[in-house]
Amino acid sequence: MARTKNKRPSDPQSATRAKTVTARRALDRNLAMLRSPADRWFFFLEQSGIGGGALSLTLLFVMYVRWAVALNPYSGAATPPMFGDYEAQRHWMELTLHVPISQWYTHDLEWWGLDYPPLTAYISWLCGLIGSWINPAWFALDASHGYESANSKFYMRATVILFEGIVYIPAVIGFVNRWYAGQSAVKRNTATLLMLLQPALLIIDHGHFQYNAVMLGLTLLAINHFLSGTYVLGALFFCLSLAFKQMALYYSPAIFAYLLGKCFREPSGQLLFLRLGGVVIGTFSALLSPWLTSSAALLQVAHRVFPLARGLYEDKVANMWCAASVVIKLKEIFDVSTCMRLSNNTCLPPIVHQRLPATDAHATAIRSSQHLTRLLLVLVPGAREVDLVARAAHHAVARQRTALRAVAHKRRHYVSAPQARETLSPLLSSFLALELGRQLHAGRRPDTCQVPIVGLLRDHGGLARARALRFTAFAIPGPVHGGQCAVERQRVPCVPGVLQLPAASRGR
C-alpha cells in the first residue's frame, strides 16, 4: 500500500502576505503607467535608492535647459539700429554705471531710456560694475551701444541665470515644500521640476532676454510668507517685486484685499495694519530716496515708469488696436487724455458688475494689451495637479479592486465608496478610490491623505459643485475587533484643491 505524504497546512499569514506583495507590485505597475514622465523619473529614482539626490539632479537639469535656451539668438541680435531688449538691459547697466543717479531717468531717452522702477536700476548698476571690472569695453558710455561680443553675451546670460538662482529657484522650492507639505518626495520633486521648466519663462527670460524671474520670485517669496503667517515680511517682498518691475501691479489688488482682510480678522488687526503701512512706506521711501529731494525728479520717475503719455499702444503690441491703426489713425484722431477717459469708462462697468459673464472671450482678448510678458502672470506657479487620464483611471481601478482591498486590509483601513449630496460619476469615484489606495499603499496615515479633485470636478459640474459636495468615510482608520473593521462615518468638507481626510475616533 502506497504511503500518502502528509501535506503541511499552508500558513494563512504567509499566504495573505504573498497576496499583498503581489497586489502592491501590480498596483505599482498600473500607477506607473498613469504617471507623467516626470513622475516616472522620480519614481525610478526612489526605487533605485537615490531619491535623496533627486532635488540636486532636478536643479542641474533645469540649469542645463536654461543654458541650452540661452545658446540661441536673443531679441534684436545683430539687428540695428536698436538691437532689441538685450541692448536695453545692457544699456541700463552702462547708464547706471556712468551717469549720476539723479539723471538715470532723464539721460538719453531716445536710446532705450530707463523706464523700470528703481530696484531694476540698482541691480543694473551692480551688474554693470562687476562687468566693467572684467572688461570696461562692455559698458563704455555711448561707445558700447550695440556691443555684442561673445564674452559680453555670456556674461549677460549668466546674470539672468544667477539672479534666477538667487531669487526665483529658492522661492519655488519654498513654495513647493509649503504647498505639498506632508506629501511624498516624488510629488514635491515633480512639482518643482514642472515649475522650473515653465516654457514661457524660459523663452522670455533666457531666449528673448529679460529678468522677469526676479519679479516672479519676489512675488512668490511674498506668497510663501503669507502662507507662513509672516505678513509683514510678505509685504516687504511684494514691495520689492513692485520696485523691480511695475508689471507686478497686476497682483496687487488680490494681495491688497488679502492683507486688508487679515487686518480685520486677526486679533491684533490694527497693529498689523500699522506695521504693513510702515513697511510699504519705508520700503518705497528708501528705494526712491535719491529722487525725493525734488518733486520734479520724482514726477519724472513716475512718468518713465508709468508712460501714459505714450498713448493707447506702443511698438508691436499684437492686438486689434495695432491692426486698426493701419486704416484708422486713433492717435491722430484722439489725444492721450481722451483715450485715457475712454479706456477708464469702458473698463469700469465689467469691474463693477462682476457677476456678469463675458459675452465673448475672444473679442475681449483681441481688444486687450497682449504684451508677451503678461503671460507669465497667470503661469505662476505653473504646476497644477496633473489629472489622471479618465479612461485609464477607470480601467485601472476595475483591474485593481482586489489589490486595493488587500492594501487597505493590510493597513487596517477601510476604503468605501463616497456618499455625497449629489450623485458622483463612476469615473470620479474610481479616481478617488485609486488615489486613496495609492496613498495608503505608500504608508501614509488616512488623516494625512489628500486627493486632488478640482480638475475632475471642473470637468463634471464646475467649482460650484465642488464646494457643495460633502464626502463621507473614504479611508477612515479603525482598529480590527473580532475580524471586523470598525468604521466611523464622518462628514468631510471639500476643500478647493484637495480632499483632506480627518482622523477617526478609535473604537473602544
Q: What is the DSSP string of 113-127?
A: ---S-HHHHHHHHHH
How far apart are the C-alpha atoms of 347 and 59, rounded to whole Å? 43
Residue 258 pLDDT greater than 80, yes or no: yes
Find out whether 132 and 139 touch, Cβ atoms under 8 Å: yes
How far apart are the C-alpha atoms of 117 and 157, rounded to whole Å? 21
Residue 365: pLDDT band (50, 70, 90) is low
Residue 387 pLDDT greater than 50, yes or no: no
pLDDT (average), residues 404-433: 40
pLDDT tens per residue across span 144-186: 898 888 999 999 999 999 999 999 999 999 999 988 887 778 8
Decide which of 404 and 191 is more confident: 191
pLDDT tens per residue across span 270-290: 999 999 999 999 999 999 999
DSSP 160-194: HHHHIIIIIHHHHHHHHHHHTTTS-HHHHHHHHHH
Residue 418 pLDDT greater than 80, yes or no: no
Task: For the beta carbon of residue 261, count every other beta carbon within 10 angstroms.
Answer: 11
pLDDT (average), residues 228-251: 93
Task: For the beta carbon of residue 396, count every other beta carbon within 10 angstroms.
Answer: 22
Find out whether 387 and 25 touch, Cβ atoms under 8 Å: no
Q: What pLDDT, on the 0 to 100 scale, is given for residue 259?
A: 93
Q: Which residues, including other chains, have CB under 8 Å from residue 395's CB and lie 6 or more apart?
A: none
pLDDT tens per residue across span 401-412: 333 333 333 333
Q: What pLDDT, on the 0 to 100 scale, is given for residue 506?
A: 35
Residue 257 pLDDT greater than 70, yes or no: yes
Residue 15: pLDDT band (50, 70, 90) is low
Decide which of 7 and 307 is more confident: 307
Q: What pLDDT, on the 0 to 100 scale, is given for residue 414?
A: 32
Residue 465 pLDDT greater than 50, yes or no: no
Q: Mind spelling out the 3-state secondary structure of 201-266? A: HHHHHHHHHCCHHHHHHHHHHHHHHHHHCCHHHHHHHHHHHHHHCHHHHHHHHHHHHHHHHHHHHC
What percent of the chain is modeled with pLDDT above 90? 31
Average pLDDT of every residue of the chain:
71
Q: What pLDDT, on the 0 to 100 scale, is given for residue 386?
A: 29
Decide which of 469 and 92 is more confident: 92
Distances (CA, A) of 155 to 139, 168, 278: 12, 19, 38
Decide which of 136 and 396 is more confident: 136
Residue 419 pLDDT greater than 60, yes or no: no
Decide which of 234 and 2 is more confident: 234
Collapse the DSSP code of 132 into the 3-class scheme (helix H, G, I; strand E, B; otherwise coil) and give the result. Answer: helix
Decide which of 428 and 102 is more confident: 102
Collapse the DSSP code of 455 into the 3-class scheme (helix H, G, I; strand E, B; otherwise coil) and give the result. Answer: helix
Enter the pTM of the model. Answer: 0.65
Task: Report residue 230: phi and psi, to 5°.
Answer: -95, 80
pLDDT tens per residue across span 26-42: 555 555 545 677 777 77
How far apart are the C-alpha atoms of 449 and 183, rounded to whole Å? 8
pLDDT tens per residue across span 50-104: 777 888 888 999 999 999 999 998 888 878 888 888 999 999 999 999 999 989 9
How far apart are the C-alpha atoms of 232 and 271, rounded to whole Å? 11
